[in-house]
Structure 1
Amino acid sequence: MVDRPHLLIVEARYYEDIAEQLLQGAVGELEKAGTTHTTVTVPGVFEIPAAVRMALNAKSAGRSGFAAYVALGCVIRGETDHNRHVAEACVRGLTELATAFAVPLGFGILTCDTRAQAMERAAVEGRNKGAEAARAALTMLEIGQGFGVSRW
């Protein structure tokens, strides 16, 4: 059996159609790279850092862990500042986890003014930001391996 990295995709499904495109892009990229993955769905992007932290806690408790993480979701501007607070909390939380625990993490959280902008960026046939996030996670995994801190 070939030893392959196993990644965790944490996706927010608040915008179902956009989330599906992000997920398809990420999964396609991970499959192309020959990795395996598990997908966990959370209600919104605010919950993504907590889910990644739960996975890290499980790994430190001796349960099987993940080689890298891919965060996927979308925040669209509304009539209030709520979108800004949610996006900032997610970015801050993921940044703290990635740096404090030296974990490879691909960031695929869209922050857009409109649904049309989000779909353009999420679409597999468009900008395919889900695939970009998966590639970033894989690249960071390779960098970690080069420093001797990443192993699957």
Structure 2
Amino acid sequence: MSEGAAPHVLLVVAPYYTEIVEDLCRGAVAALEEQGATWERIDVAGAFEIPGAIALALDAGTRGGRRFDGYLGLGCVIRGETSHYDLICNEVARALQTMAVERLVPVGFGLLTTENGAQARVRASPEGKDKGREAVRACLGMIALKRRFAAGAS
């Protein structure tokens, strides 16, 4: 992690698939704590609400509320029988990417998008693919990069 204060990250969690998402959170929290980062967690109803919750937190920060150095969206969407899966996955990814680029905020994408529960469990598990940790690495890396550019380093 770069110099300066420990990064403070907001975890926005959609616990629809509770066991899977808690595994994602375990990996994410372990990675944050290993890097000396602090964090807060809020839960939202589902994956679709993750970008909105981050936007609300950003808005509160610009009005003097709690500021976060980065944001982490954690959740899981498993393909079902309808096109709902595609709509949710695409719109959440698009909204988070747009927010990261247009509002210049570090966002870690920890939304699993899988065909079935078995795939999700392997990807979420800290003993498996540990995608929660991976999302933290991306978020902390972007926080460090933002700090580097803010300090005028090339």
Q: TM-score, normalised by structure 2?
A: 0.93
Q: Provide the residue aligned with 2:126 in structure 1.
A: 124
Is 1:54 the counterpart of 2:56? The answer is yes
**Structure 1 counterpart SS, 2:42:** strand
Q: Provide the residue aligned with 2:9 in structure 1.
A: 7
Structure-1 separation of matches of 2:97 and 2:109: 9
Structure-1 separation of matches of 2:7 and 2:113: 29
Q: Provide the residue aligned with 2:35 in structure 1.
A: 33
Is 1:67 the counterpart of 2:69? The answer is yes
Identity of aligned residues (%): 45
Structure-1 separation of matches of 2:93 and 2:147: 24
Q: Give the C-alpha shift of residue 4 in structure 1.
A: 1.9
**Structure 1 counterpart SS, 2:68:** coil
Q: Provide the residue aligned with 2:108 in structure 1.
A: 106
**Alignment check: 8 A CA contact 2:7 2:143 kept:** no
Q: Give the C-alpha shift of residue 5 in structure 1.
A: 1.6
Superimposed CA distance per residue, residues 50-80 of structure 1 (whole angstroms, 9 cap, x where no aligned partner): 0000000001111121001111111100011
Structure-1 separation of matches of 2:132 and 2:45: 18
Q: Provide the residue aligned with 1:87 in structure 2.
A: 89
Structure-1 separation of matches of 2:49 and 2:93: 11
Q: Give the C-alpha shift of residue 3 in structure 1.
A: 3.2
How many residues align? The count is: 148
Q: Provide the residue aligned with 1:17 in structure 2.
A: 19
Structure-1 separation of matches of 2:66 and 2:45: 24
Structure-1 separation of matches of 2:75 and 2:106: 18
Q: Which amino acid aligns with 2:121?
A: M
Superposition misfits of 4+ residues, deviation over 3 angstroms: none
Structure-1 separation of matches of 2:41 and 2:124: 17
Give 5+ residue unaligned stretches, structure 2.
none
Give 5+ residue unaligned stretches, structure 1.
none
